[in-house]
Amino acid sequence: MSKLATLTGHTYRVLYLAISPDGQTIITGAGDETLRFWNVFPSKSQNTGSDIGARSLGRSHIR
């Protein structure tokens, strides 16, 4: 495992983390009572919608 980035912005420690269904955004919740949305995996191409059906069936994968 290798470190990809350091996310700064919360003033207290991060308590919760979630990733969006498309895998491009990470959402963090911290003790400072804030939510942060991090666009850490930007899309390299426009989504054509061809894989939306697979996601709706719960076949998405978390890396």
Answer yes or no: is pLDDT of 3 > 70.
Answer: yes
Sheet with 14-19, strands from edge to edge, namely: 14-19, 25-30, 35-39
49: amino acid identity, one letter: G
Tell me the residue type at 25: T
Under the banding of pLDDT at 50, 70 and 90, the label for residue 6 is confident
pLDDT, position 1: 84
For the chain, the average pLDDT equals 78
C-alpha neighbours within 13 Å on the C-beta side of residue 34: 10
Q: Which residue has the tokens 């955004």?
A: 25
Hey, what are 63's tokens? 């890396």
Using the Cα atoms of residue 54, residue 55, residue 59 and residue 63 in order, give the sign of their dihedral.
Answer: positive
In this predicted model, what pLDDT tens digit does every residue of 24-39 receive, in sequence order?
999 999 999 999 999 9
53 pLDDT higher than 70: no
Check: pTM over 0.85? Answer yes or no: no
